[in-house]
Amino acid sequence: MVVELPDTPPTLLDLAPAQARARIAAWVRAAGLPSYRIEQIVRRLWVNPVGRWSDASELPLEVRVALEAEFPLPKLTLETRRLSADGTAKFLWRLRDGEAIESVAIPSGARRTLCISSQAGCALGCVFCATGRMGYRRDLTPFEITGQVRELVIADPTARPTNVVFMGMGEPLLNWPAVDVALTILNDAEGFGIGARHITVSTVGIIPGMRALRQRREQFRLAISLHSPDPERRLDLMPIEKKYQLREVVEEAKRFGRRVTFEYVLIAGRNDGGDDADRLATLARRLGAHVNLLPLHPGGAPGLVPSPAGRIRRFANRLRAAGVEAVVRKSRGLDIEAACGQLYVEMEARRRRARTFPAPA
């Protein structure tokens, strides 16, 4: 299924690889070109991508010109790149209609994880998330999702991600038609060829989307943004609890058939007590779930404070003592506003100030 922006036709990069191949094959036959051109062209979409057809030097000039006319390649425009002292890199991409999205590259040894966005903004309003303060802008197309990978590979083929997590802007399972296609592009051998077990979809618990993900044959990973094991406290943090209640989300996660991860941001005085740890352990044991504990990213949510390091250790140890595998994740990119939505909020504020107080002539 292809998601379209108003008055914007889908491109080859909005199609699953098999569909893109079929369209290219038909064009090659109609142009009277030799069939081996199909392989050469398809490889330039994702396997060995080019920013424009003129860079595909293995193709004759007349073919490159014809491809540019028939199948122009869209681009994400890199507006800002920030590199942290810990190696984390944050990217702000400007889309063709002026909207902007973020992605974050996180190196760890041989692993290169890219956190990508699935929507411009977010409608869910989680109190600890800077993206939630933006509100919902629109869904991304398949290209705009996978283009966050593509642009990095074009710029530096050695930076190709080994892992992709849908944990950037937006709720991926509220944009399932585009995310469905994007998952295929990321995983397919004629796409980016990233193993399904190295691709994680994170959700606050959108049950119809969880069912759709479960029905795919590939073993994509599922992470659930939990953040409280108590429905009432969770509702205070995450308004989505009103629509998709924790009990129902956990029951759907039990049907997933593969190991689930609970994502849990620790916020001082809100969800980091001993009783929170005990109730979380009970939920995690029921599912055999892994728990990622994440200190609240400073600056991502005004008015909220990260749990102290000692309290985080005690929380993690209490989970482990209850038989739950729990990992405390480091806060990465603290010096570059790497919390989801932070860079967007900062850059948009600068743009507004520039419009209000233009530079002197």
List, by residue number, the catalytic residues: 102, 340
Cα–Cα distance for residue pair 154/157, rounded to 1 Å: 6
Cα–Cα distance for residue pair 145/41, rounded to 1 Å: 21
Cα–Cα distance for residue pair 28/26, rounded to 1 Å: 6
Cα–Cα distance for residue pair 202/212, rounded to 1 Å: 14
Strand 290-295 to 326-328 pairing:
parallel
Could you give the 3-state DSSP secondary structure of residue 137? strand
Listed in sequence order, the residues at least 6 apart from 349 whose beta carbon sits closer than 8 Å to its beta carbon are none
Cα–Cα distance for residue pair 156/154, rounded to 1 Å: 6
CB atoms within 10 A of CB 317: 12
Cβ–Cβ under 8 Å, residues 55 and 63: no
Q: Which of 111, 97, 90, 123 is nearest to 347 (CA)?
A: 90
Q: Which tokens go with 52?
A: 């424009």
SS3 content of the chain, % helix, strand, coil (to 5): 40, 20, 40
Measured at the CA of 18, the angle between CA 17 and CA 19, to 5 degrees, comes to 90
Helical H runs in 206-308? 207-214, 231-237, 246-254, 274-287
Cα–Cα distance for residue pair 290/303, rounded to 1 Å: 29
